[in-house]
Chain A
Amino acid sequence: MNFQLFLQNLANGISLGSLYALIAIGYTMVYGILRFINFAHGEIIMLATYFVYFGILIFSMPWWLAFIFSIILTSLLGMGIEKVAYKPLRDSPRISILISAIGVSFLIQNLSLVIFGGRPKAFCQPSIFTKMVTFGNVKITSITFITPIIAGILLYFVTYLVNNTKTGMAMRATAKDFDTAKLMGIDIDKIISLTFTLGSALAAVGGIMWGLRYPQIHPFIGTMPGLKCFIAAVVGGIGNIPGAVLGGFMLGIMEIMLVAFLPGLTGYRDAFAFVLLIIILLVRPTGILGEKIAEKV
């Protein structure tokens, strides 16, 4: 393999990685606050692509308006899911909330199958995302470098929000301790709701990027990215935003490189993320950037 091809793959890996990172943040924020896997995150990604599709098809929106429409609708949906399926279980054993999440995930998936049908649909491909761009010797489509740029801007925005605003402080406080946060006058219901909305908005952006990259959408496209991004979040250290970014990039780059360098293992591509997950959990169960929490006896 020559250097040029390596760069090409690297660019591709970074692009995929930034996409993973974007979605992984949603997981990590929700996990950070509620300590459970939002199994339905993948389905939120899937719905975001359908919202764009129908925005264009039914309301004849221009693509950019359809994107905004989808992000707003997806955010509201995320908020709604939390209200209906998770909020009533906040005092139940964590296993119940996990089961509920699995239920929501299957419900959305199959409801989509019923409503949208199983036949794949073509996602819009505005020409600005499909142009070939040449950097020196490396030829890539514009989506490959637009993805990391948009991801970078959003990451900056989220990090700023969490670290430098009052709302962000409330989020961090809620993540540390519900009861104390409540005593400090934080409306934790509002904060949790906001976290879901924000996480879903990021998932929507991720979903749209996903659609631009792999422009065939069907009701099951959310499952794999959903699981992989959860893995990215765990690898980086769940609950930790820089960790989710790191995990996302690691997974994206490693996956692309695996296929590029060991084409014989292409069939195992989807299993790779799980292998990585299991290795990380064994070597460092709290993830690369996660803190170790001692159990109180």
Chain B
Amino acid sequence: MWNKKNLYTGISLILFIIFIYWADNNLDPYKMRILILCGIYVILALSLNLVNGFTGLFSLGTAGFMAVGAYTCALLTMSPEMKEMAFFLEPLIWPLNQIQIPFLPALIISGLVSAVIGFLIAFPVLRLKGDYLAIATLGFSEILRVVIINAQSITNGALGLKGIPKYTTVYWSWGLALLTIYLMVNLINSSYGRALRAIREDETAAQVMGINLFYHKITAFTISAFLAGIGGALQGNLIRTVDPTMYVFQLTFQILLIVVLGGIGSITGSVIAAVIITVLMEALRVVESPMTIGPLHIPGISGMRMVVFSLLLMVVILFYQQGFMGQREFSWDWLSRKGRDNEQTIGS
């Protein structure tokens, strides 16, 4: 049975890789871009779900960590000439103005810088719970943004960075998304994952069971910041420009929407919802752009997409709190309908 499942997973994986390869060769750049964004949002949603869903820490700092990742990766991958052109108000400090490194190490460093900042932020804020934690992480995200606006000689301030090399391909985004899914599934099914869920269920009981709350929370938070940094970096090197207005609370809101829609505490849900929301985000662009139907000219209505998304979030949370998946996960047993009777249901 176990081997059969591995076989199914292997076949699906190969089919998916074939699909990606086919897409890369046949889809137009616009559709490819959406596909790439889907992979990025999968990573971001899993990052947020790790803390919000599995550990029960309501964090709203994703946008801030994405900004850190995106700026770090942009500064590491842009050519010195591009940097000199971008920083015309105030030159970029040494040694950043000289450095240019390949994408992979830049990505890893972006994740690490974001993780370090996440770790430092976690120290004070993880003493807080519930709403307080939410507002404090949101606050940190805003502070990071204000710092980015003001640290002209590192971030180019409000002007942002332009001309970032477009390194993010579908292989990068989905390759890393699949790796993230794999690691997250393992982690969540491991003893550490159980400890995190125990903390979510009942902190006091978890602590009395010998779980060091602070250590586990801060590790989850740091991993989440790492992933958000990677996601931000991938996004920055896809759209080729970053500026402080991109990293407002609205960005965190979109990822929160994915997590809630998919099911708070479900990896499968996050993956499905990430794809749906990303596609929807692009599909609904239509309602925001000007349209001419026959003699009728409708000007573009900006904000309409967010109206739809906020309504969607409210409907889910008011009428369908479980989202798509609740806390359940996909398993091949669904196909054979044997789930409960199976010895290895949990963790397989």
Q: Is the interface of B mostly helix, strand, loop or mixed?
A: helix
- In the bound assembly, the distance between CA atoms of A60 and B36 in angstroms comes to 52
Query: Provided the pairs A274-B139, A274-B142, A295-B204 are in contact, do residues A103 and B302 lie with their beta carbons within 8 angstroms?
Result: no
Cβ contact within 8 Å between B135 and A104: no
- In the bound assembly, the distance between CA atoms of A274 and B150 in angstroms comes to 16
Stretch in A199-207, A242-250, A278-286 with 4+ CB within 8 Å of B:
A278-286
- In the bound assembly, the distance between CA atoms of A242 and B219 in angstroms comes to 39
Q: B314: which of A92, A104, A114, A267 is its contact (CB, 8 Å)?
A: A104
CB of B124 closer than 8 Å to a CB of A? yes
Cβ contact within 8 Å between A234 and B302: no
Query: Provided the pairs A270-B146, A285-B128 are in contact, do residues A114 and B304 lie with their beta carbons within 8 angstroms?
Result: yes
User: What residues of B have a CB within 8 angstroms of the CB of A37 in the complex?
Assistant: 131, 134-135
CB of B317 closer than 8 Å to a CB of A? yes
Cβ contact within 8 Å between B127 and A36: no
- In the bound assembly, the distance between CA atoms of A104 and B306 in angstroms comes to 11
Q: How far is the CB of B160 from chain A (nearest CB, A)?
A: 16
CB of A89 closer than 8 Å to a CB of B? yes
- In the bound assembly, the distance between CA atoms of A219 and B307 in angstroms comes to 13
User: What residues of A have a CB within 8 angstroms of the CB of B66 in the complex?
Assistant: none
User: What residues of B have a CB within 8 angstroms of the CB of A103 in the complex?
Assistant: 310-311, 313-314, 317
A-B contact count, CB below 8 Å? 121
- In the bound assembly, the distance between CA atoms of A175 and B345 in angstroms comes to 44
CB of B196 closer than 8 Å to a CB of A? no
Q: How far is the CB of B309 from chain A (nearest CB, A)?
A: 7
User: What residues of B have a CB within 8 angstroms of the CB of A278 in the complex?
Assistant: 124-125, 136, 139-140
Q: Which of A253-297 contact B (CB under 8 A)?
A: 267-268, 270-271, 273-275, 277-278, 281-282, 285, 295, 297
User: What residues of A have a CB within 8 angstroms of the CB of B313 in the complex?
Assistant: 99, 102-103, 106
Cβ contact within 8 Å between B128 and A281: yes
CB of B95 closer than 8 Å to a CB of A? no
Question: How many residues of chain B have a CB within 8 Å of chain A?
Answer: 42
Q: How far is the CB of B310 from chain A (nearest CB, A)?
A: 4
Cβ contact within 8 Å between B142 and A100: no
User: What residues of B have a CB within 8 angstroms of the CB of A50 in the complex?
Assistant: none
Query: Provided the pairs A100-B314, A234-B132 are in contact, do residues A267 and B253 lie with their beta carbons within 8 angstroms?
Result: no
Give the size range of A's interface with the partner: 35 or more
Query: Provided the pairs A37-B131, A278-B139 are in contact, do residues A106 and B304 lie with their beta carbons within 8 angstroms?
Result: no
Q: How far is the CB of B262 from chain A (nearest CB, A)?
A: 13
Cβ contact within 8 Å between B204 and A114: no
Q: How far is the CB of B155 from chain A (nearest CB, A)?
A: 12
User: What residues of A have a CB within 8 angstroms of the CB of B318 in the complex?
Assistant: 85, 88-89, 100
Query: Provided the pairs A94-B131, A98-B131, A234-B135 are in contact, do residues A107 and B311 lie with their beta carbons within 8 angstroms?
Result: yes
User: What residues of A have a CB within 8 angstroms of the CB of B134 in the complex?
Assistant: 37, 98
Q: A106: which of B127, B138, B149, B309 is its contact (CB, 8 Å)?
A: B309
Q: A118: which of B249, B303, B309 is its contact (CB, 8 Å)?
A: B303
Q: How far is the CB of A40 from chain B (nearest CB, A)?
A: 11
- In the bound assembly, the distance between CA atoms of A270 and B250 in angstroms comes to 17
CB of A20 closer than 8 Å to a CB of B? no
- In the bound assembly, the distance between CA atoms of A281 and B313 in angstroms comes to 30
CB of A210 closer than 8 Å to a CB of B? no
User: What residues of B have a CB within 8 angstroms of the CB of A36 in the complex?
Assistant: 131
- In the bound assembly, the distance between CA atoms of A94 and B256 in angstroms comes to 16
User: What residues of A have a CB within 8 angstroms of the CB of B146 in the complex?
Assistant: 267-268, 270-271
Cβ contact within 8 Å between B130 and A95: yes
CB of B331 closer than 8 Å to a CB of A? no
Cβ contact within 8 Å between A110 and B310: yes
Cβ contact within 8 Å between B314 and A281: no
- Residues of chain B whose beta carbon lies under 8 Å from any beta carbon of chain A: 52, 58, 124-125, 127-128, 130-132, 134-136, 138-140, 142-143, 146-147, 149-150, 204, 249-250, 253, 256, 260, 264, 301-304, 306-307, 309-311, 313-314, 317-318, 321
> Could you show 24 A-B contacts with beta carbons less than 8 Å apart?
A92-B321, A96-B317, A99-B256, A99-B260, A102-B253, A103-B311, A103-B314, A110-B304, A113-B303, A114-B304, A223-B249, A227-B135, A230-B135, A267-B150, A268-B150, A270-B146, A271-B143, A273-B139, A274-B143, A277-B135, A278-B125, A281-B136, A282-B127, A285-B128
